[in-house]
Structures are given as C-alpha cells and as structure tokens.
Amino acid sequence: MYFLPNDLLEKIIADLDIVSLIRLTSTSKSMQGIGLGWKLCTHPIQYLNKASYTTNNYNDLNEMVDDMAIEICAEETKSSKNRRYFDDLVSQSKEYTTTRQHQNYTLQLNRNVRHLKTKAVYNYSFLIKKRGQKVPSFQLLYDPLGEGYVGMQPSGMDIHLPLLFVFLGCKVLFKIHGYCSFKHLNQFPKWFTRVLVSKNYNGLMLKDIVNGFVVV
C-alpha cells in the first residue's frame, strides 16, 4: 500500500468506514499518521454534571464512559450500606451536557433500585432530552426479563439525536448490563453501530461521533 500513488491512497482511505480505518491505522506505527488526523477533534469535550455542577475535560471517549459509570454506580454502593431492605423502588439520576457541542441537549443516566425483602434489583437506563421539549427525545431501557435493551421515542415523529450522547449512554449501559440484544441498532448508521458494539474501541474523539447527529 505504501507504493500506491498518494491520490489513490487518499481515495481508498476516504472510502473506508470509521472502524476499518481505525483497524488499518493500528496495524503498524507507519500507518498511524494516515487518514485519521482530519477525523479527530482538536478540542477536548468539556462536560457539565448538571446535578453537582462540576465540569471535566476529556480527550478520550472511553474515559468519559468509565467516569459516568463509576459515578452512577457509586450511588448504588452508598445507598446500599445505609438502608434496611423492604419492598420499595428508589430512583436516582445524573444529568450531563456539554459546554460546546450540544448545550441544548441533556443526557440523563437513571438507576432504579427495587428492594424485595433481602434482595436489591438494580436497573439502569438513559434518556436524551432537548431543551424546551416536555417529553424525552429518546430513551433506552434494559429489560432484565428479555435480557436485552428496548428503545423508546415519541411516536409519529422523527427526532434528531446527538451521536455523542447516544454513544455515551449506550456504552455506560453496556458496561453495566453487558452487550446484548438491542432492537434499535438498525436506526443508526452502520459505522456507528460497529463502534457501539465494539468491545475494544480505543476511545478516539472522532468528529463524526462528537459533532454528529442521527435521525431516528
């Protein structure tokens, strides 16, 4: 490939999907400088935790997912140590937005805990809301009975969702509940679906994810 003319090499790389391009550039150090530079964000994501009014800067999507998962699960540990178990339902949520990319959208992570006598059953979900809308734009729930994920959205209308929040919400749920059936995957671009279900994604800040939208 190194002996191909530059214009032909650039065309081949331009036609590759994101995942294939990442795999190609990871084959050797010589390939790392080819094709990815113009696809990466040059500025970090600054996100705001709307509940605690704290901000953090990230240059790695996997780090964001890890921190969000730790934060929502930490509430689980904290509440479990200091309560008696009885039949009830306790809910907890964390809300996030970004200060640059998607200020008009909010990603909300939810944790529902149902206490049944001496057993606590945890369920996590996320929803994406747009400022000014009374109902969530999109919601993804984990179904413990079907051992899969169920997507919900307002009926009869197309909605625009920031791919960044879809990515973060899905990856947090996958990290907690595992990679399993997800019926709404066919609504997303194929390259994005491949990134979502990849267990070895390297966390690159791809412009297509950070700044992109999808219509569902």
- The C-alpha atoms of residue 90 and residue 145 are separated, in whole angstroms, by 20
Report the chain's mean pLDDT, rounded to a whole number: 77
In the sheet with 45-49, reading across from the earlier edge strand, the strands are: 54-58, 45-49, 88-98, 105-116, 119-130, 138-143, 148-152, 181-182
Q: Which two tokens stand for residue 93?
A: 């949520």
Mean pLDDT of 43-69: 85
pLDDT of residue 142: 85
Does the pLDDT at position 30 exceed 90? no
Q: Is the pLDDT higher at 84 or at 170?
A: 170
Residue 49: pLDDT band by 50, 70, 90 thresholds?
A: confident
pLDDT of residue 168: 94
pLDDT of residue 169: 93
Q: Which two tokens stand for residue 8?
A: 């032909």
Range of weakest confidence among 132-136, 184-188, 194-198? 132-136
User: What would the pLDDT profile of 35-45 be if each residue is shown by its tens digit?
Assistant: 566 677 878 88
Residue 96: pLDDT band by 50, 70, 90 thresholds?
A: confident
Q: For residue 7, how many other CB atoms are within 10 A of its CB?
A: 7
Range of weakest confidence among 32-41, 128-137, 171-180? 32-41
What global pTM score does this model have?
Answer: 0.78
- The C-alpha atoms of residue 187 and residue 68 are separated, in whole angstroms, by 25
- The C-alpha atoms of residue 114 and residue 120 are separated, in whole angstroms, by 6
Query: How many Cα atoms are found within 13 Å in the side-chain-facing hemisphere of 3?
Result: 0
Does the pLDDT at position 73 exceed 60? yes
Tell me the angle at which helices 61-81 and 163-177 cross, rounded to the nearest 10 degrees. Answer: 50
